[in-house]
């Protein structure tokens, strides 16, 4: 069965793989019975490693680690998971911090500094702005390989308000940013995001020092990819964020605290600029998804879910051998980091979230979307 591309901010885990016999490591006080529930999910879906971090009232109150980082090496607090598209949230936060310092205008044309060669002859490239790229309104498919000829092209005019999830849009933003500011993208992230927060266990570029700490991705049966190796020097603002549980939790807490930016810039995190309630894939289908969030959509870099007085910022990600999710409720300062090693990530992490966090309701969205397409494909 092949599912359509699902925005990784809304992805769940599907496959997991480590037997329940692994010995968990922890700090703090997780819910009673959590070990058994996580072990059952891991056993059912062939997940090899899990890292969890629970945030309450803006503090990381416990972490928990299960399974193996690689064969014979346990997952620990030092393990750096590939969290894939969770990099998009970090990239967006870099943008907001640059906006706050007057170094970036979200509505400036990027064409003065960077034009992707595939669209250089299309005059619509002049309409591209950081805002459109960071809210999935550029009018691109996800990556050039999603096109029949492998060449990037507009599938609609940029700025129409139609949601078209696109990793290449974030990559274009990264290329534009480093040319505009004369600094490599990974250095910008380190300077404006990681270092101020103290995220020593996070990297936006693959480097040799990480090799012994990175979780080795595993396939649908829980077997490690034998050819896995870091692609040293490679970076992608839309993908391949390597980070520990504690450091991503620190990132979420910093965002909750304001991220050192003005109130006006903070509002850009919560202002939905690409609505999803009526989207053909992610929409609420006339009430069939219950509850339907309000607001519900994409802001600058974040997925926004609203339920009454509760507003949730969230982003997730998955690649061929891992999946992840991190979120925080802006009203309570409560949140969760769920980092998982396992290829079939479509079902597991909502199950883990549901077992830990009674406050959240946004996994209803994931369960509904996944069930809709599973049913659709099998019908």
Tokens (6 digits) for 61: 């109150």
> Which letter, b or e, does each residue of 6-25 get, where b requires 16 or more Cβ atoms within 10 Å of its Cβ?
bbbbbbbbbbbbbeeebebe
Find the farthest-apart pair of alpha carbons in the chain and give their distance in angstroms, rounded.
60
Give the count of beta carbons closer than 10 Å to the beta carbon of residue 3: 13
Is the pLDDT reported for residue 84 higher than 50?
Answer: yes
For 63, half-sphere exposure in the C-beta direction (CA atoms, 13 angstrom radius) is 19
Q: What is the pLDDT of residues 347-372, one digit of tens each?
A: 788 889 999 998 888 899 988 988 88
Residue keyed to tokens 């005019």: 157
Query: 9 pLDDT band (50/70/90 cuts)?
Result: very low
DSSP line for 108-131: S-GGGT---GGGTTSGGGGG--HH
Using the Cα atoms of residue 344, residue 346, residue 352 and residue 355 in order, give the sign of their dihedral.
negative
Any residues with CB less than 8 A from the CB of 139 and at least 6 apart, and which? Answer: 124, 154, 155, 156, 157, 158, 159, 160, 162, 164
Give the pLDDT mean for 125-129. Answer: 98
**0.75 surpassed by pTM:** yes
Using the Cα atoms of residue 77, residue 81, residue 87 and residue 91 in order, give the sign of their dihedral.
positive
Is the pLDDT reported for residue 5 higher than 50?
Answer: no
Give the pLDDT mean for 99-103. Answer: 98
Give the pLDDT mean for 303-309. Answer: 94
Give the count of beta carbons closer than 10 Å to the beta carbon of residue 164: 19
Q: Which of 303, 300, 323, 322 has its CA nearest to residue 311? A: 303
Give the pLDDT mean for 247-257. Answer: 98
Cα–Cα distance for residue pair 135/164, rounded to 1 Å:
9
User: Residue 332: helix, strand or coil by DSSP?
Assistant: coil
Please report the pLDDT score of residue 345 as a whole number: 65
Q: What is the pLDDT of residues 146-169, one digit of tens each?
A: 999 999 999 999 999 999 999 999
Any residues with CB less than 8 A from the CB of 314 and at least 6 apart, and which? Answer: 9, 302, 303, 304, 305, 325, 326, 327, 328, 362
Query: 133 pLDDT band (50/70/90 cuts)?
Result: very high
Q: Which of 73, 3, 63 has its CA nearest to residue 38? A: 63
Instruction: List 46's β-bridge partners, or say none.
Output: 16
For 325, half-sphere exposure in the C-beta direction (CA atoms, 13 angstrom radius) is 29
* Residue 242 · residue 231 · CB < 8 Å: no
Give the pLDDT mean for 314-336. Answer: 94
Please report the pLDDT score of residue 59 as a whole number: 97
Query: 227 pLDDT band (50/70/90 cuts)?
Result: confident
Q: What is the pLDDT of residues 47-82, one digit of tens each?
A: 999 999 999 999 999 999 999 999 999 999 999 999
Please report the pLDDT score of residue 217 as a whole number: 94
E strands in 86-223: 202-203
Is the pLDDT reported for residue 8 higher than 50?
Answer: no
Q: What is the pLDDT of residues 193-219, one digit of tens each?
A: 999 999 999 999 999 999 999 999 999
Is the pLDDT reported for residue 101 higher than 90?
Answer: yes
Tokens (6 digits) for 292: 């339907």
Is the pLDDT reported for residue 376 higher than 60?
Answer: no
Q: Which of 353, 368, 335, 374 has its CA nearest to residue 13? A: 353
Query: For all residues of the chain together, what is the average pLDDT?
Result: 90
Please report the pLDDT score of residue 156 as a whole number: 96
Instruction: List 190's β-bridge partners, or say none.
Output: none
* Residue 306 · residue 312 · CB < 8 Å: yes
Write the CA distances from 63 to 31, 60, 244, 283, 299, integer angstroms: 11, 8, 11, 34, 29
Query: 18 pLDDT band (50/70/90 cuts)?
Result: very low
* 351 vs 9, higher pLDDT: 351
Q: What is the DSSP letter of 349?
A: H
Query: 375 pLDDT band (50/70/90 cuts)?
Result: low
Please report the pLDDT score of residue 19 as a whole number: 29
Any residues with CB less than 8 A from the CB of 24 and at least 6 apart, and which? Answer: 35, 38, 64, 65, 66
Tokens (6 digits) for 144: 């050039």
Using the Cα atoms of residue 307, residue 310, residue 313 and residue 316 in order, give the sign of their dihedral.
negative
Cα–Cα distance for residue pair 63/336, rounded to 1 Å:
10
Tokens (6 digits) for 282: 């992610």
Give the count of beta carbons closer than 10 Å to the beta carbon of residue 52: 25
User: Residue 345: helix, strand or coil by DSSP?
Assistant: coil
Residue keyed to tokens 């059912």: 44
């Amino acid at each position: 069965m092949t599912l359509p591309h699902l925005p990784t901010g809304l992805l769940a885990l599907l496959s997991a793989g480590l037997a329940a016999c692994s010995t968990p490591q922890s700090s703090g006080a997780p819910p009673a019975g959590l070990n058994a529930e996580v072990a059952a999910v891991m056993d059912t879906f062939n997940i090899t490693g899990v890292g969890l971090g629970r945030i309450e009232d803006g503090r990381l109150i416990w972490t928990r680690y299960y399974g193996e980082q690689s064969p014979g090496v346990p997952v620990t607090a030092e393990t750096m998971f590939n969290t894939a598209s969770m990099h998009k949230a970090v990239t967006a936060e870099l943008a907001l911090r640059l906006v706050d310092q007057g170094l970036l205008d979200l509505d400036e044309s990027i064409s003065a500094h960077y034009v992707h060669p595939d669209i250089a002859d299309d005059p619509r490239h002049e309409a591209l702005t950081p805002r459109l790229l960071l809210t999935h309104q550029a009018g691109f498919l996800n990556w050039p390989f999603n096109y029949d000829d492998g060449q990037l092209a507009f599938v609609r005019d940029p700025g129409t308000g139609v949601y078209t999830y696109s990793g290449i849009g974030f990559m274009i933003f990264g290329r534009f940013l480093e040319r505009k500011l004369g600094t490599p993208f990974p250095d910008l992230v380190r300077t404006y995001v990681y270092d101020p927060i103290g995220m020593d266990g996070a990297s936006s570029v693959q480097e040799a020092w990480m090799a012994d700490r990175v979780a080795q991705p595993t396939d649908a049966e829980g077997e490690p990819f034998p050819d896995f190796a870091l692609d040293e020097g490679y970076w992608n603002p839309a993908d391949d964020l390597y980070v520990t549980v504690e450091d991503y939790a620190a990132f979420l807490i910093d965002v909750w605290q304001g991220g050192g930016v003005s109130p006006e810039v903070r509002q850009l995190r919560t202002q939905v600029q690409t609505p999803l309630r009526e989207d053909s894939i992610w929409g609420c289908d006339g009430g069939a998804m219950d509850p339907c969030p309000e607001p519900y959509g994409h802001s600058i870099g974040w997925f926004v879910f609203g339920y009454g007085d509760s507003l949730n910022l969230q982003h997730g990600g998955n690649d061929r051998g891992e999946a992840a999710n991190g979120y925080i409720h802006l009203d309570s300062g409560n949140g969760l980091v769920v980092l998982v090693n396992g290829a079939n990530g479509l079902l597991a992490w909502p199950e883990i979230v549901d077992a830990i966090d009674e406050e959240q309701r946004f996994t209803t969205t994931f369960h509904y979307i996944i069930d809709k397409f599973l049913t659709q494909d099998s019908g």
